[in-house]
Amino acid sequence: MRPIKERPKCRAFIREKGLKPYIRNGCWDGCTMQYENGSRITLDSGLAKQARKMVSEGFWGSIRAGSPRWLAAETRPKSFQEIIREVVRRARREGVAE
């Protein structure tokens, strides 16, 4: 995958408007952003590319995209092993397990 080129005007717009990725079901679709007041906007191509670049740089912290091609949110069900690992991790964090 080629690196996404910087779009300074798009970056300035995103920062000026206080936009952040709209997370749904734990994933970002690659084009829907959210204003600070909670309303949403779907970005056009250039703005979406800049937002993806900012996500890959960690501008908003750790955000998981739905797929490498920034399509729809991930819908794959978790395997039994993934569920067990998640339960054990949670128990360790809460001090229930050693």
Write out pLDDT tens, residues 34-70: 998 989 999 988 899 999 888 888 888 877 655 444 4
* Number of domains composing the chain: 1
Q: 8 pLDDT exceeds 50?
A: yes
On whether residue 1 sits in a domain, the answer given is: no
On whether residue 97 sits in a domain, the answer given is: no
On whether residue 82 sits in a domain, the answer given is: no
Q: What is the pLDDT of residue 9?
A: 95
> How large is the greatest C-alpha to C-alpha distance in the chain, in angstroms?
51
On whether residue 40 sits in a domain, the answer given is: yes
On whether residue 80 sits in a domain, the answer given is: no
Q: What pTM value is reported for the model? A: 0.61
Q: Worst-scoring range by mean pLDDT, 11-15, 34-38, 69-73, 84-88? A: 69-73
On whether residue 89 sits in a domain, the answer given is: no
Using CA atoms, how far apart are residues 26 and 32, in angstroms rounded to an integer? 13
Q: What is the pLDDT of residue 75?
A: 40
DSSP state of 77: P
Q: What is the pLDDT of residue 61?
A: 80
Average pLDDT, the chain: 78
**Which residue range(s) make up the domain with 29?**
8-71
Handedness of CA 44, 49, 55, 59 (dihedral sign): negative
Residue ranges of E strands in 1-98: 20-24, 27-34, 40-42
Higher-confidence residue: 18 or 92?
18
On whether residue 42 sits in a domain, the answer given is: yes
Q: What is the pLDDT of residue 92?
A: 82
On whether residue 16 sits in a domain, the answer given is: yes
